């Protein structure tokens, strides 16, 4: 029964209710996926207000303004307008509010400026220039990321200088002056009366720690109740501030944290799982409530999630459950190539829409890296399935991709003024906007292209030599394009233009992502160049860069789809946290991709990758499909892949259409549920007969035979299609080959001259 006057408690299950009505002391609410976390948090605040706590005595910290607004809106429905008097918002916004009042006590003006990322990078650029440092080595984004990481870990410029690990890391990366840049950046911000986003936390900590005029006691007294949402996403600095507000003498310790250690996936942003794991040590008298009932997903999904996360050693034990009986088992798609994976995912989406009457908006495709979106975009477009990229741009709309495509366009068509304007000063080569505008004006007045201006008109500009160098470079690109296939041309342009070096110099998270996108484009071009199967109606294979640009033009033209259109959602798993879909596809489940190759050297990072997979599968309400590819292009080479270790950790009875076989390598530790069922073998594709696995062909050792030696009746091996039997060869040397491992359309017509086939003894 609910307490008299509090009917909203009737909407809660028993453990949720206890978490809401327990208000005093340290409280930890461990909220599994789909367990009603937001409802518990908002009702707890509403309950505090209803039991007489003043709204200004409540501090509720969130990670997004949207979450804070939704929280206030929900509370208002229970308690009325008092909801908007509580201190609820993001760490940054609420601390900025306090600093406006108190900043003068730590040497800042009350009307201090808040620098956004562009402002901060502009200051850093100026400092790097003043020190006469190589801007390619001392990349602004990388330096900014380094400073942000230091601040988030309470490392000042002075302590940075005495930290041998940090200094050694900078020396290894040829940036020994990073600490000096950091020091000058901090002093410059101070002189300018400015704080960046990290300073809003760092200076708040400083204000409370130094405690001028009893500031700490003032806010400890005001905020009698402190609540923190998504606590597993806090970084070291944020937790230290929370402890300053709640732990020191005279504090009331009324702190409630809500989160899930199993969904701690943001270490790259500075978040640390140690905060939630250590909370019980910092607050020994803590009361813990575990929200384990899942209201989102069906039994097979929940069973798999529990099984998978129990492979992690660092965790708070819990077992989520659901009363949603039945439901579909998990489906698995095994593809031979990433292109086939994209096609079969699109086919399965059509099948699910027809069979289960799903709308596009009820379907989500989740991948480990944004660069993976390309192949799925291409196949969704071919099927006229509307989609949107959540939290990012369509692959071909990303800046680094548009820059590279502009170079490719210019190498084919010198008269492409829009492409020229995009790349004439990228990477930066000292050709300013005034010069570019003058070239465009001359071109317009004389009704010629801008490239013709550069080659035929004598311009009186200071950047004359730089313009001549640019013209020579584009001429070299055109020559390469006319003599080489699309991939060799693109690789040459990526390197000679300076785009590759520019992206490599940015070692920030965003910079690494941009380089991954460029490599994904090059891999797509490599696949295009290596595809030696004649398309219907084609008489001659055309693998030129011009043909490739023609192929993708239809895709890039579709970038202007109406955003309001009913769309399939595509996103990285990191972006999917907090969302849910009726049907979820988790794709690219291969070793070195998911889990990421960057995580494999550290057990802690592998555990975070497993938490990321846990987050991915628990986004699904009813239908969960997992897919992987035997092979995909990586840095221009065909790479053969092992299935992800996480596939081996899924219980056998949760999965439909599989054949269980022993994995080549035992990657996973002993399961707490007994010996794991290995799913690393031959999966039966959805709705189709089982396929044979690709032959184990080492690409490095693969040596194609001369096409003149290939005769009818021979058995041959193709890197992509596996082993096949040559059925016939026509007068044009086009062979019809039956590839047994190809589950659909096993007969391929291949021009032998380009086929790269190895004869089997």
Q: Which of 196, 198, 229, 523 is catalytic?
A: 229
- The Cβ-side half-sphere exposure at 300, using a 13 Å CA radius, reads 17
Question: Is residue 570 within 8 Å of residue 387, measured between CB atoms?
Answer: yes
Q: Which of 619, 645, 684, 756 is catalytic?
A: 619
Q: Is 513 helix (H, G, I), strand (E, B) or coil?
A: helix
Catalytic site includes residue 164: no
- 270's enclosing H/E stretch is none
What is the C-alpha to C-alpha distance for residues 436 and 19, in angstroms, rounded to an integer?
64
CA angle 502, 504, 509 (to 5 degrees): 115
Catalytic site includes residue 234: no
Q: Which of 38, 438, 496, 551 is catalytic?
A: 38
Q: Which of 62, 178, 263, 569 is catalytic?
A: 263
Catalytic site includes residue 38: yes
What is the DSSP-derived secondary structure letter of residue 587?
A: -
Four-residue CA torsion sign, 36, 41, 47, 49:
negative
| Sequence-distant (≥ 6) Cβ neighbours of residue 595 within 8 angstroms | 606, 609, 610, 613, 644, 645, 646
Question: Is residue 275 within 8 Å of residue 239, measured between CB atoms?
Answer: yes
Q: How far is CA 198 from CA 126, 148, 171, 177, in A?
A: 20, 6, 25, 21
- Taking alpha carbons only, the member of 311, 635, 655 closest to residue 500 is 635
| Sequence-distant (≥ 6) Cβ neighbours of residue 560 within 8 angstroms | none
- Taking alpha carbons only, the member of 222, 231, 302, 208 closest to residue 254 is 222
What is the DSSP-derived secondary structure letter of residue 10?
A: G
Question: Is residue 654 within 8 Å of residue 308, measured between CB atoms?
Answer: no
Q: How far is CA 578 from CA 263, 325, 398, 571, in A?
A: 10, 23, 25, 13
Catalytic site includes residue 429: no
Q: Is 227 helix (H, G, I), strand (E, B) or coil?
A: strand
Q: How far is CA 46 from CA 82, 90, 495, 497, in A?
A: 9, 19, 59, 59
Q: Is 52 helix (H, G, I), strand (E, B) or coil?
A: coil
Catalytic site includes residue 684: no
Catalytic site includes residue 604: no
Q: Provide the angle, in degrees to the nearest 10, between the axes of the packed helices 545-557 and 399-412.
A: 140
Q: Which of 17, 37, 329, 543 is catalytic?
A: 37
- Taking alpha carbons only, the member of 264, 258, 260, 328 closest to residue 297 is 328
- 529's enclosing H/E stretch is helix 509-530
Beta strands in 229-299 (DSSP E): 255-259, 287-291
Q: Which of 230, 341, 488, 621 is catalytic?
A: 230
Greatest alpha-carbon span in the chain: 94
- Both tokens assigned to 391: 């939290």
Residues annotated catalytic, as ranges: 37-38, 229-230, 263, 619
């Amino acid at each position: 029964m609910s307490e008299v006057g509090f009917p909203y408690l009737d909407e809660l299950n028993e453990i949720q209710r206890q978490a809401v009505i327990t208000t005093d002391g340290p409280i930890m609410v461990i909220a599994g996926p789909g367990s009603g976390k937001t409802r518990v948090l908002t009702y707890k605040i509403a309950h505090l207000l209803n039991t007489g706590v003043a709204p200004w005595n409540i501090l509720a910290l969130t990670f997004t303004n949207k979450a804070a607004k939704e929280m206030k809106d929900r509370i208002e429905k229970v308690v009325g307008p008092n909801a908007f008097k509580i201190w609820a918002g993001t760490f940054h916004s609420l601390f900025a509010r306090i600093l406006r009042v108190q900043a003068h006590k730590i040497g800042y003006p009350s009307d201090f400026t808040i620098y956004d990322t562009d402002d901060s990078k502009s200051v850093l650029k100026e400092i790097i220039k003043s020190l006469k440092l190589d801007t390619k080595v001392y990349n602004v984004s990388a330096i900014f990321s380094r400073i942000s990481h230091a601040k988030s870990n309470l490392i000042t410029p002075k302590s940075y200088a005495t930290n041998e690990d940090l200094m050694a890391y900078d020396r290894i990366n040829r940036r020994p002056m990073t600490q000096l840049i950091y020091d000058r950046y901090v002093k410059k911000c101070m002189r300018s009366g400015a704080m960046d986003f990290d300073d809003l936390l760092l200076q708040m900590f400083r204000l409370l720690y130094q405690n001028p005029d009893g500031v700490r006691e003032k806010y400890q007294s005001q905020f009698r109740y402190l609540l923190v949402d998504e606590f597993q996403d806090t970084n070291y600095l944020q937790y230290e501030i929370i402890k300053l507000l709640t732990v020191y003498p005279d504090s009331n310790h009324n702190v409630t944290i809500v989160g899930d250690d199993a969904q701690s996936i943001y270490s790259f942003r500075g978040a640390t799982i140690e905060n939630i794991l250590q909370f019980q040590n910092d607050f020994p008298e803590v009361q813990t409530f575990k929200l384990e009932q899942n209201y989102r997903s069906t039994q097979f999904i929940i069973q798999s999630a529990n099984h998978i996360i129990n492979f992690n050693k660092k965790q708070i034990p819990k077992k989520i459950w659901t009363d949603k009986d039945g439901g579909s088992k998990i489906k698995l798609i095994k593809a031979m190539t990433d292109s086939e994976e994209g096609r079969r995912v699109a086919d399965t989406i059509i099948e699910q829409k027809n069979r289960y009457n799903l709308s596009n908006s009820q379907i989500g495709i989740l991948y480990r890296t944004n660069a993976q979106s390309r192949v799925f975009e291409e196949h969704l477009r071919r099927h006229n399935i509307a989609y949107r990229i959540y939290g990012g741009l369509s692959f071909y709309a990303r800046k680094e991709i548009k820059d590279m495509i502009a170079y490719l366009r210019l190498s084919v068509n010198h008269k492409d003024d829009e492409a020229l304007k995009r790349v004439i000063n990228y990477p930066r080569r000292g050709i300013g906007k005034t010069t570019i505008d003058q070239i465009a004006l001359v071109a317009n007045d004389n009704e010629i292209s801008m490239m013709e201006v550069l080659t035929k008109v004598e311009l009186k500009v200071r950047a004359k030599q730089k313009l001549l160098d640019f013209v020579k470079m584009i001429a070299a690109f055109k020559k390469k394009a006319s003599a080489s296939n699309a991939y060799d041309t693109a690789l040459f342009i990526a390197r000679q233009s300076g785009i590759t070096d520019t992206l490599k110099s940015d070692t920030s998270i965003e910079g690494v992502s941009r380089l991954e996108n460029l490599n994904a484009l090059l891999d797509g071009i490599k696949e295009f160049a290596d595809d030696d199967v004649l398309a219907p109606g084609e008489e001659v294979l055309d693998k030129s860069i011009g043909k490739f640009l023609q192929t993708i033009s239809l895709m890039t033209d579709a970038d202007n789809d109406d955003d309001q259109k009913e769309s399939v959602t595509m996103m990285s798993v990191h972006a999917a946290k907090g969302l849910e879909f009726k049907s979820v596809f988790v794709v690219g489940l291969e070793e070195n991709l998911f889990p990421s190759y960057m995580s494999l050297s550290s057990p802690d990072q592998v555990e975070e990758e497993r938490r990321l997979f846990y987050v991915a599968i628990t986004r699904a309400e009813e239908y969960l499909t997992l897919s992987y590819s035997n092979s995909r292009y990586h840095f221009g080479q065909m790479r053969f892949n092992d299935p992800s270790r996480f596939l081996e950790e899924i219980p056998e009875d949760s999965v439909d259409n599989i054949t269980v076989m022993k994995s080549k390598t035992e990657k996973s530790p002993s399961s707490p549920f007994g010996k794991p069922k290995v799913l690393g073998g031959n999966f039966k594709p959805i709705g189709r007969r089982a396929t044979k696995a690709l032959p184990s062909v080492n690409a490095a050792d693969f040596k194609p035979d001369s096409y003149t030696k290939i005769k009818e009746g021979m058995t041959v091996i193709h890197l992509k299609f596996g082993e096949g039997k040559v059925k016939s060869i026509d007068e044009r040397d086009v062979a019809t080959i039956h590839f047994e491992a190809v589950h659909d359309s096993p007969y391929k017509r291949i021009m032998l001259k380009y086929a790269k086939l190895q004869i089997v003894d």
